[in-house]
Structure 1
Amino acid sequence: MAPSLPDVAAGDDPDDRADDRPVLVADIGGTNTRVALARGTEILSDSTRRYRNADYPGLESLLRRYLAEAGRPDCAGACAAVAGPVREGVASMTNLDWTIERDTLSRAAGTDRVALLNDLQAQGHALGHIAPDALAPVLDGVAAGPNAAKLVIGVGTGFNVAPVYDTAAGRYVTPSEAGHADLPIRTAADMRLCHFLATAHGFPSVEDVLSGRGIEHLYAWLGTEVHDPREARAAEIMEAVAGGGDARAADAARIFVTFLGRVAGDLALIHLPFGGIYLSGGVARAFAPHLAGFGFAAAFRDKGRFAGFMGNFGVTVIEDDYAALTGCAVHLNRLSLAA
């Protein structure tokens, strides 16, 4: 059976599909929310705004602020991408104490045509609509047909993945919560890292390493390894990596890239994304200049007798910070055309 589409409520008037009113799109992350207006599949120029989630008690007040600043446009629809699972019209944030309902989005935007997506699903819907200069190749793959499966891996405040399937019935982007799977381990040092994470956080998950706070965990763990405990923020660690003045920061980054390669390689074997793997999110973009130097390719292809097979999968970094907004617009447009 084909995966079901996310919950959507369509307006009563079929002619609404032909009007020229904008739609409201939002990308709700663990730290920030990006909001914009779109017409069709295009984000309207200069309409994008970013807000700190900590400044608002919930999504409704944030969206009302945006719409007031935008001149209170009459919206034909609204779609929000949420960093957390969506079920039965309700989204639970993984790294933020917000619960978002379809009715909340409808009330804030003043429209009955609304949809909620997981944020990685929105990234998946954006594929094919992202400007070529916002796609940075990391590894070359083998050319594949237009309907080959693709995979989006999001590395930001959290970690998650979304497989993308183009079928005769349309595009399906299936959700997951893959960041909370077990961290893969191979060495004695990996096991010590897992014990450190379990002691501090209760469970050594992929997201505990491959996320913004993950690089902080690695930096702190390396300090315990040499009995010189120190902590640093992710931004400080990445600045030190770029500056080359902190060996511990470089070691933390190298371990991060190794795990990213391993996990991405495992996911490639699970989903067989011959159409390519796409890394998205602020942390993925921050690491993009360091992937080659810290051994991403070797870790990705380190699969024993399947090492050669791994050359089938290309890897690309999505450098468009607003790709999820485009994905929301694309998804809502497809739902409107199908209504």
Structure 2
Amino acid sequence: MTPYSLVADVGGTNTRVALANGKELLADSIVKHRNTDHASLAELLASYLQGQGKPTCDRAAVAIAGPVKDGAGRLTNLNWEIDKATLANVSGAGRSAVLNDLQAQGHALGHIADADLVTLKQGDDENPNAAMLVIGVGTGFNCAPVFQTAKGRFVPPSEAGHLTFAARGEEQWDLSQFLDAKLGHVAVEDVLSGRGLERCYAWASVKAGQNKTASTAEVFAAAQADDPTAIKAIGAFTAALGGVVGDLALTLLPFGGIYLVGGMSRAIAPWFDRCGFDAALTDKGRFSNFLNAFSIRLVEDDYAALSGCAHFLARSDNQ
């Protein structure tokens, strides 16, 4: 029997699982699971493998939305844990790996179809051999730098979503103070995530003399209907995102390009022009024009993290 790789992309809400033959995902093996239907990630993976006829897996890698250290990780927004030993046990694989989800996205870069990439900003000084940066905005927020080295691709993990949110201007300061009163500490993820947009809406509602709340989907629907409170919330979110992306770009100098991933990235991107994303991105004083060096692309491939896991395992075979 052909040995496969088991790969999984574990988010706060859903988990995608697939089999790969080397670097290639087997399209008909991809299954999306709701996490609430399972007691643990190990149980979810065991159920998946049972449904696939218990295939022989010699390698396994999972990408999780949470911090990973020494081959073990815990999801930030779900009380699930996984480690290499548990993954090897449930899959039967001789080699296993646990990655942060943004690391997996970084390993997918260069293997994503052009049709699944949307250029939002063409950089003035793009260098395909330089460092790249993946930024994920969805249930949470995080980023991962991507470096090309003599020994291959290196994608270190980070937990950038838990950096303190740095308010820029009177409106962002007011938003930050509003959230600080509720949360005690305002992290980047508290503003730039699905729940973050809901918080932006609650703030905008109070500013309008109301006291309403709305889900993320309701905010976007209201904005499409030209609701001023929803548009103000989306504007605050977009400006905050531009500022944070600009800060991360200056920190890591990704002349190879910035790649936005995640459901909120896709949902908010159509509002960039209207809500001043580029103005916020380049609002960096003497280095404002420098920010025009970096290309920004939106990734629309739902399975990029799965592909990244497969490529990570395949690269590891040659190291």
Contact 2:62 2:97 in 1 (8 A): yes
2:306 is aligned, of 304, 322, 325, to 325
Structure 1: distance between partners of 2:125 and 2:20: 32
Contact 1:42 1:329 in 2 (8 A): yes
Q: Single out whichever of 186-195 and 104-113 deviates more from structure 2.
A: 186-195
1:76 is aligned, of 51, 55, 58, to 58
Q: Which residue identity lines up with residue 224 of structure 1 in the other structure?
A: V
Q: Which residue identity lines up with residue 220 of structure 1 in the other structure?
A: A
Equivalent residue, structure 2, for 1:271: 252
Residue 313 of structure 1 pairs with residue 294 of structure 2? yes
Structure 2: distance between partners of 1:226 and 1:45: 48
Q: CA deviation at 1:20?
A: 4.2
Residue 48 of structure 1 pairs with residue 30 of structure 2? yes
- Paired residues in the alignment total 319
Structure 1: distance between partners of 2:116 and 2:318: 27
Structure 2: distance between partners of 1:189 and 1:292: 19
Q: How does 1:285-296 map to 2 (within 5 A)?
A: 285-296=266-277
Residue by residue over 1:318-339, the C-alpha shift from the partner in whole angstroms, topping out at 9 and shown as x without a partner, is 011111000000001111222x
Q: How does 1:167-316 map to 2 (within 5 A)?
A: 167-241=149-223, 243-316=224-297
Q: How does 1:154-173 map to 2 (within 5 A)?
A: 154-173=136-155
Equivalent residue, structure 2, for 1:65: 47
Structure 1: distance between partners of 2:147 and 2:124: 18
Q: Which residue identity lines up with residue 284 of structure 2 in the other structure?
A: K
Q: CA deviation at 1:240?
A: 2.2
Gap regions ≥5 residues in structure 1: 1-18
Structure 2: distance between partners of 1:143 and 1:313: 7
Residue by residue over 1:14-54, the C-alpha shift from the partner in whole angstroms, topping out at 9 and shown as x without a partner, is xxxxx942211001111111111111111112211111111
Residue by residue over 1:59-81, the C-alpha shift from the partner in whole angstroms, topping out at 9 and shown as x without a partner, is 01101111111121111211000
Partner of 2:27: helix, strand, or coil? coil
Gap regions ≥5 residues in structure 2: none
Q: CA deviation at 1:199?
A: 2.0
Residue 97 of structure 1 pairs with residue 64 of structure 2? no
Contact 2:67 2:73 in 1 (8 A): yes
Structure 2: distance between partners of 1:305 and 1:314: 20
Residue 146 of structure 1 pairs with residue 128 of structure 2? yes
Residue by residue over 1:273-319, the C-alpha shift from the partner in whole angstroms, topping out at 9 and shown as x without a partner, is 00000000111011122222221111111112212111100100001
Structure 2: distance between partners of 1:308 and 1:262: 14
Q: Structure 1 runs of 4+ off > 3 angstroms?
A: 143-146
Structure 1: distance between partners of 2:76 and 2:138: 12
Q: CA deviation at 1:131?
A: 0.5
User: Structure 2-normalised TM-score?
Assistant: 0.97
Equivalent residue, structure 2, for 1:34: 16
Structure 2: distance between partners of 1:247 and 1:226: 9
Structure 1: distance between partners of 2:98 and 2:85: 10
Q: CA deviation at 1:189?
A: 2.6
